[in-house]
Chains A and B, each alone.
Chain A
């Protein structure tokens, strides 16, 4: 049971390049999330998904797109990278039991540098 995994671990991009970050979970969780972490700001939600084929915007969605074609995978895309997108990106997943508060499980993060 690997939990939540993210690829790649580290990437350097030039301004204007595109890339896709992959998040995979093997816990059969319904919900998946993408966050970014910047110094002194905690984590901020970019996009999330409440099930296969569904996605929704979070707090800071601009410049990112996502897809959830399979329940276990959640992809984060940058179509035209900008230096402001230099950050550490975390994926998380969770399940929801009726009457219970979910717990989000986090991946190890992807460090992205945009030059």
Chain B
């Protein structure tokens, strides 16, 4: 079994300040972890993924996430928010082998204030 908890349903930051979106996971298997972003009325776009190669994962648009097995966390960060970062962000867990169906968190809506 696997599950994902996104600890904040809404996060609001000012433009130019750091972003932190928190995600904890639970998995009976060695997990793969992803962050997807969804802009309003758009599909989901992959930001980054962790597949056990390195614990610090760099993604697109300046985002990165660190896999911490001891804390079962995979928090998403960005040093400086941009207005275009305003969107819904989903943390996702998947099994690394066998059936690879994705389990999604409930999402975090990021607002960026000017």
Contact = CB atoms under 8 A, between A and B. Distances in A.
Contact of A102 (B44, B100, B105): B100
Contacts of A59: 101
Contacts of A103: 34, 46, 49
A48 to B, nearest CB: 7
Contacts of B34: 103
B105 to A, nearest CB: 5
A90 B44 contact: yes
A43 B103 CA distance: 8
A108 B42 contact: yes
Contacts, number: 53
B43 A109 contact: yes
A43 B90 contact: yes
A4 B102 CA distance: 17
Contact-size category for A: 20 to 34
A23 to B, nearest CB: 11
B111 interface: no
Contact of A42 (B32, B43, B90): B90
Interface string A93-111: 0101000111111111100
A60 to B, nearest CB: 12
Given A90-B44, A106-B43, A107-B43, A48 B32 contact: no
Interface string B33-60: 0101000011111100101000000000
Contacts of B43: 4, 90, 106-109
A106 B96 contact: no
B101 A45 contact: yes
Interface of A: 4, 31, 33, 40-45, 48, 58-59, 90, 92, 94, 96, 100-109
Interface of B: 4, 9, 32, 34, 36, 41-46, 49, 51, 90, 94, 96, 100-102, 104-107
